Amino acid sequence: MYENDLATKIIGAAIEVHRQLGPGLLESTYETCLAYELKQIGLNLQQQVALPVVYKEVKLNAGYRIDLLVENKIIIEIKSVEVLADIHTAQLLTYLKLKDLKLGLLINFNEVLLKNGLKRVLNGYL
């Protein structure tokens, strides 16, 4: 399955979670519920994936964690903040580079309309 098709399914699942829960909860709650929805539609995913940093050809565990990794193709970074900041996009872009993946979704569930909290981040296509 291609990244765009996966992204469409992920966004649909995120909208369902938001429809059920609304804004204002903890990121961990949205992560757990989104993981449940994605599994329900048959997608393979991993939660809280450790992401080492390679520094001078040495892998170092620096404490980075990917919220959700779907089908080993798309990184989902979940937020529940008042406003998405540039640093959130930079964080996801760094994760994409470290994992050598093309597409990530930054999802801020703390919005009245979830579409206002969705951002696609492409590695290498700024």
For residue 13, what is the domain's CATH number? 3.40.1350
Per-position b or e across 47-66, b if 16+ CB within 10 A of its CB = eebebeeeeeeeeeeeeeeb
| Confidence (pLDDT) at 29 | 97
> Is 80 exceeded by the pLDDT of residue 95?
yes
Predicted TM-score of the model (pTM): 0.90
Query: How many structural domains is the chain composed of?
Result: 1
- Please give the average per-residue pLDDT across 32-37, as a whole number: 98
Task: With cut-offs at 50, 70 and 90, classify the pLDDT of residue 126.
Answer: very low
β-pairing, 74-79 vs 103-108, is: parallel
At residue 3, the pLDDT reads 85
Domain that includes residue 33, residue range: 3-122
Band (pLDDT 50/70/90 cuts) for residue 125 is low
Name the residue with tokens 């757990």. Answer: 32
